[in-house]
């Protein structure tokens, strides 16, 4: 489905690849065995990159097929809506252990973001809360992180380090789980149960996954240093990466050698002054010496709806939303589950904006009005219960009440490929560089130009 914009981005990407290889149009054409006009047309976005040319490029240059391939923009208006009826049309029942176990329905997804959000109905009832109930069919876990929002009488089962757990949940509870932890869901007899299983990829999907794959399992596993604390691991890595002997770090930073040995052994974590001194010698930011430590318990973070932190937004009267902060883990600092009770009627006051990618599901019961701005145009849609949507980063959007309606919207925000360190890098390089990055089709030098 190469559309015109995709082809244009592919052209700019192609120019980027040959610029980086220090090939001008003629040199690139010679390497690939085609006339220069072919290259010119590809760069201009006037023709698709032929499969044969791609094959040849990967053969003669130190590049990969993926280096040439853009991402499709399937939300050109800023938002992509999936209506309840479209979701229902994707309904499929999967059996486990010979019996119908779940009904799955896809909800809003976009090629711009690794959300894989499913509406899942539990088809097997249980009459107890035992994790070893034989009716429970366990999966093997999956790499995607899972944020789950519970509706009805759902039993949630999860396994961590060989032990199995069951939690009885109710509407409004939520849980964040780590990759590869086996889990399952049933509903409690006499009730009914469904979940919004919002799986999503973290920073390790995409390029990172493929790089790890090419390095192979043994080298990939080395990225998870064993047997040290997270803080000690970060410091040890920096010493190895910069070839800095401990004795030199001690002498230059003023942090005593014995103290550094304790820090590297994980016996203590560095204090702020120490971090500043170490960062100065290692020529990094303090940020780069700090670890990330998860706050899960047995691999999950469970938040009961009744105990979730709640606040009004924007904070000044009148409120546009009554917000609840749902489950999350510090390993994914950009993943934010939010429950929004839509209480406002003024679209200006309800306007939200975030640098994260966002998925929303209208829990209802009543409809809500969605308003958003994209490319200078203001748009509106009324969304019914079970409608869902994807919102691009930075697109101003908001939900308001329709009439006297009462409605709740579930939102999950996640960091895209430009999050964390990468977002900091983008921020440091500045807007003109980012604009040029995504649109430049010109050669890095002008052969004809005299001195300017």
Site for a second copy in 143-202 (CB under 8 A): 143-144, 178-180, 199, 201-202
Residues 254-283 that bind a second copy (CB under 8 A): 272, 283
Q: Which is nearer to a second copy, 217 or 403 (CB)?
A: 217
Please state at what angle helix 272-282 crosses helix 246-253, rounded to 10 degrees. 110
Among 36, 129, 152, 206, binds a second copy (CB under 8 A): 206
Q: Which is nearer to a second copy, 11 or 172 (CB)?
A: 11
Stretch that binds a second copy, among 186-194, 204-212, 342-350, 360-368 (CB under 8 A): 204-212
Neighbours of 152 (CB within 10 A): 16
| Cα dihedral sign, 302-303-305-306 | positive
Among 287, 318, 380, 406, binds a second copy (CB under 8 A): 287
Q: Does 44 bind a second copy (CB under 8 A)?
A: no
Tally of CA atoms within 13 A in the half-sphere of 411 that contains its CB? 26
Q: Which is nearer to a second copy, 65 or 189 (CB)?
A: 65
Q: Are 270 and 229 in contact (CB under 8 A)?
A: no
Q: Which is nearer to a second copy, 319 or 385 (CB)?
A: 319
Q: Which is nearer to a second copy, 28 or 38 (CB)?
A: 28
Joined together, the tokens standing for residue 179 give 């990759």
Stretch that binds a second copy, among 22-30, 147-155, 166-174, 186-194 (CB under 8 A): 22-30
How many residues touch a second copy under the rule CB under 8 A: the total is 172
Q: Which is nearer to a second copy, 306 or 434 (CB)?
A: 434
Stretch that binds a second copy, among 36-44, 187-195, 221-229, 397-405 (CB under 8 A): 221-229
Residue 174 bridge partners (DSSP): 149, 303
Q: Does 36 bind a second copy (CB under 8 A)?
A: no
Give the integer Cα–Cα distance in Å for 204 and 210: 9
Q: Which is nearer to a second copy, 189 or 295 (CB)?
A: 295
Give the integer Cα–Cα distance in Å for 117 and 146: 9
Residue 156 bridge partners (DSSP): 167, 185
Q: Which is nearer to a second copy, 400 or 403 (CB)?
A: 400
Give the integer Cα–Cα distance in Å for 351 and 357: 16
Cis peptide bond upstream of 365, omega within 30: yes
| Cα dihedral sign, 351-353-110-42 | positive
Q: Does 297 bind a second copy (CB under 8 A)?
A: no
Alpha helices in 265-351, H assignment, sequence order: 272-282
Q: Does 217 bind a second copy (CB under 8 A)?
A: yes
Q: Which is nearer to a second copy, 111 or 406 (CB)?
A: 111
345 Ramachandran zone, left/alpha/beta (phi>0; psi -120 to 50): alpha
Q: Which is nearer to a second copy, 404 or 446 (CB)?
A: 446
Q: Does 396 bind a second copy (CB under 8 A)?
A: no
Q: Are 303 and 173 in contact (CB under 8 A)?
A: yes
Residues 372-391 that bind a second copy (CB under 8 A): 375
Q: Does 245 bind a second copy (CB under 8 A)?
A: yes
Min separation Cβ 86 and a second copy, Å:
12
> Measured at the alpha carbon of residue 419, what is the angle toward residues 417 and 422, in degrees to the nearest 5?
85
Min separation Cβ 431 and a second copy, Å:
4
Q: Does 322 bind a second copy (CB under 8 A)?
A: no
Query: 3-state DSSP helix/strand/coil percent for the chain, to nearest 5?
Result: 30, 30, 40
Among 33, 35, 97, 254, binds a second copy (CB under 8 A): 97
Per-residue contact flags (x/-) with a second copy for residues 345 to 364, judged by CB under 8 A = -------xxxxx--------
User: What distances in angstroms separate CA 226 from CA 9, 194, 229, 437, one per listed residue?
Assistant: 42, 38, 8, 38
Q: Does 397 bind a second copy (CB under 8 A)?
A: no
Min separation Cβ 234 and a second copy, Å:
8
Q: Are 407 and 368 in contact (CB under 8 A)?
A: yes
Q: Are 167 and 103 in contact (CB under 8 A)?
A: no
Q: Does 58 bind a second copy (CB under 8 A)?
A: yes
């Amino acid at each position: 489905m190469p559309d015109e914009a995709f082809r244009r981005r592919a052209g700019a990407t192609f120019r980027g690849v040959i610029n980086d290889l220090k090939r001008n149009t003629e040199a690139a054409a010679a390497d690939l065995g085609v006339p220069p006009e072919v290259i010119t047309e590809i760069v201009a976005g006037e023709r698709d990159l032929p499969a044969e040319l791609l094959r040849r490029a990967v053969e003669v240059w130190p590049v990969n097929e993926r280096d040439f391939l853009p991402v499709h923009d399937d939300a050109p208006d800023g938002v992509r809506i999936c209506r309840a009826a479209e979701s229902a049309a994707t309904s499929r029942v999967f059996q486990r252990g010979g019996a119908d176990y779940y009904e799955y329905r896809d909800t809003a997804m976009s090629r711009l973001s690794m959300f894989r959000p499913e509406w899942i109905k539990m088809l097997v009832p249980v009459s107890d809360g035992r994790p070893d109930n034989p009716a429970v069919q366990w999966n093997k876990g999956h790499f995607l992180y899972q944020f789950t929002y519970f509706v009805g009488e759902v039993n949630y089962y999860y396994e961590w380090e060989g032990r199995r757990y069951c939690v009885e949940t109710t509407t409004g509870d939520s849980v964040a789980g780590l990759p590869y932890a086996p889990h399952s869901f049933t509903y409690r007899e006499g009730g009914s149960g469904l979940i919004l299983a919002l799986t999503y990829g973290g920073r390790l999907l995409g390029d990172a996954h493929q790089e790890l794959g090419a390095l192979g399992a043994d080298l990939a596993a080395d990225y998870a240093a064993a047997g040290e604390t997270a803080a000690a691991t970060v410091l040890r890595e920096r010493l190895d990466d910069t070839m800095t002997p401990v004795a030199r770090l001690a002498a230059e930073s003023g942090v005593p050698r014995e103290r550094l040995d304790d820090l590297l052994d994980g016996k203590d974590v560095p204090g702020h002054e120490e971090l500043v001194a170490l960062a100065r010698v290692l020529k990094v930011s303090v940020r780069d010496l700090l670890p990330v430590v998860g706050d899960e318990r047995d691999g999950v973070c469970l938040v009961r709806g009744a105990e979730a932190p709640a606040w009004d937004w924007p904070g000044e009267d009148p409120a546009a939303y009554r917000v609840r902060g749902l489950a999350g883990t510090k390993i994914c600092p950009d993943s934010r589950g939010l429950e929004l009770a839509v209480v406002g009627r003024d679209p200006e006051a309800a306007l939200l904006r975030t640098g994260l990618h966002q998925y929303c599901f209208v829990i209802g019961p009543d409809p809500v009005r969605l308003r958003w701005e994209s490319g200078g145009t203001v748009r509106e849609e009324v969304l019914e219960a079970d409608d869902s949507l994807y919102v691009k980063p930075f697109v101003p959007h908001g939900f308001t009440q329709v009439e006297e309606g009462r409605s709740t919207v579930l939102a999950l925000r996640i960091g895209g490929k430009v999050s964390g360190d990468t977002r900091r890098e983008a921020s440091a390089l500045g807007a003109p560089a980012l604009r040029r990055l995504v649109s430049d089709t010109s050669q890095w030098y002008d052969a004809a130009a005299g001195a300017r």
